[in-house]
Chain A
Amino acid sequence: MGTDFRTLNPRALWQGLMRDGGSGDRIVPPTGITAQLTLFSAGAMAFLAVFALALALATGRLAERWSGELAGSVTVRVSAPLDEQAARTQATMQVLATTPGAGQPRLLPPEEVARLLAPWFGPDMPVDALPVPSLIDLPIVDEDFDVQGLRLRLEAEAPGAVLDDHTEWRRPLVTAANRLRVLGIVSLLLIAAASASMITLAAKAALAANGQVIRVLRLIGARDITIATAFVRRFTKRAAIGATAGTLCGMAGIAMLPGMEAAGGFLTGLGFQGWGWLLPLLIPVVAGAVGFFATRWAALKMLGAVR
């Protein structure tokens, strides 16, 4: 008996949705507060989805940047007694300058070293008075670059020079960024699932409240597709309209976040860039699809119980 209703396929429903509802839409009574709650819920979820999407995109960019920037160079630290510091630094520079796959080594000037130490010692600290090691930045320009080989050469030819390829720093940062990205994606999925749940509940409530209407319609010869379309059309529209409003509010909120100059750290990247601003516009489409399938499922369950 129910077999043909199982073929109440999305295509047939979609065609029903796209047609002008006309008086067919009026067969379902207005649902008042349910309609407003569905609109609000879809809007709130879309608003949150915009931020979750921004988080996922930003952390993705952050992971790439941290990974790329830190992997593109190594740092060599030269520690020696004060009277030997210059000579050992010079010897190290010579080793580095002849390293295959490496670019031009750059000795960090005292002002730059002072700036790096400022967070710990404050801005007015006389760095010259401290036994601060020399720091050399060596860009990696070729795949021939051999970290392990360079480390052995430094041990042999430049005692006191320690090579840091940033692995120790890079790995946890990139891992953290990737996990944040996963969190953003999981948040998006949870928001979609929560939206589907809310719309299903609202649709089921509307269907249950209209049980008598459905029964009358079946008795006068209405097919399941006709009844289901009336409900699916209504909830799909509500989900899409609410989500559009929520998405626009969310995008406005993202646009109003402080710029890179004003904020610092992680927040500098939170937002959309370039074509990325088009991605949130998919949220109302997804919300409409969620409304479509959630209501279809609820209608299918409800109509199956009515002969």
Chain B
Amino acid sequence: MIEMRDVGFGYGGTELLSNMTLTLQSGMFHFLTGPSGSGKTTLLRLCYADLLPTTGQMTAFGEDVRQLSRDGIADLRRRIGVVHQDTQFLDHLPVAENLALPLTVSGQEVDMEALRDLLGWVGLSHHARALPPSLSGGERQRAALARAVILSPDLILADEPTGNLDWDMSMRLMQLLIELNKSGKTVLVATHDLNLIRATKAQVAARVLRIANGTLNLAGADL
């Protein structure tokens, strides 16, 4: 799905990541953890080609990301659902239309019933016509997750999705991600919250990757 071999990324002469070797296994739940500023977000951005590796080899769905055209990158992103900590929406469009945006921009018809089901799944049925600025932090994250999965992507990336949420809301969001994983989706969640990782691992088999000092390792049994 996503494979990195000795991937490095630098910017302005500074090497932020080096010798990253990673294989995201299909259907697995992955955590990416590490201290703030360790490069978790950079690694995720590499995964959806928002950044390109400066060294090493990286393939996404079998294609070398550095060889992808701009349209190729757009097509790649339709296969990857991304949830950010500070998720952004088009504030002039209602929540339902924001959720349907990936369908709209890829020229697909919007199945209104499926959209209603999706809104219900993330608990936002009553906010379908609301504008995004009126949503709470937890609602925004759930809306972002719904938008990320509407194209039924193979891979879901979440960058500190619970960073601004309380524990209950965090677990509610994680529950949705676990459901997606159980339905066969590959999930990669970047978080520094070890309690969240432990609580999730109690419900689903998860692989934990730790990033520190610019390098990536499989976390030990201490988690």
Contact = CB atoms under 8 A, between A and B. Distances in A.
A3 B101 contact: no
Interface in B75-108: 75-78, 82, 88-93, 97, 100-102, 104-107
B63 to A, nearest CB: 14
Nearest to A23: B104
Contact of A217 (B49, B73, B91, B105): B105
B102 A220 contact: yes
A30 B92 contact: yes
A212 B100 CA distance: 18
Contacts of B107: 226
Q: Quick one: which of B71, B100, B105 has the most chain A CB within 10 A? A: B105
A221 B77 contact: yes
A237 interface: no
A115 interface: no
Grouping DSSP codes into helix (H, G, I), strand (E, B) and loop, the A interface class, with mixed when no group exceeds half, is helix
B97 A23 contact: yes
Given A212-B88, A220-B77, A26 B105 contact: no
A29 B71 CA distance: 23
Contacts, number: 74
A23 B101 CA distance: 9
Interface residues of B, number: 32
A219 B77 CA distance: 7
A37 to B, nearest CB: 20
Contacts of A218: 74, 77
B105 A222 contact: yes
Nearest to A306: B70
Contacts of A224: 70-71, 74
Interface of B: 48-51, 69-78, 82, 88-93, 97, 100-102, 104-107, 110, 147, 151
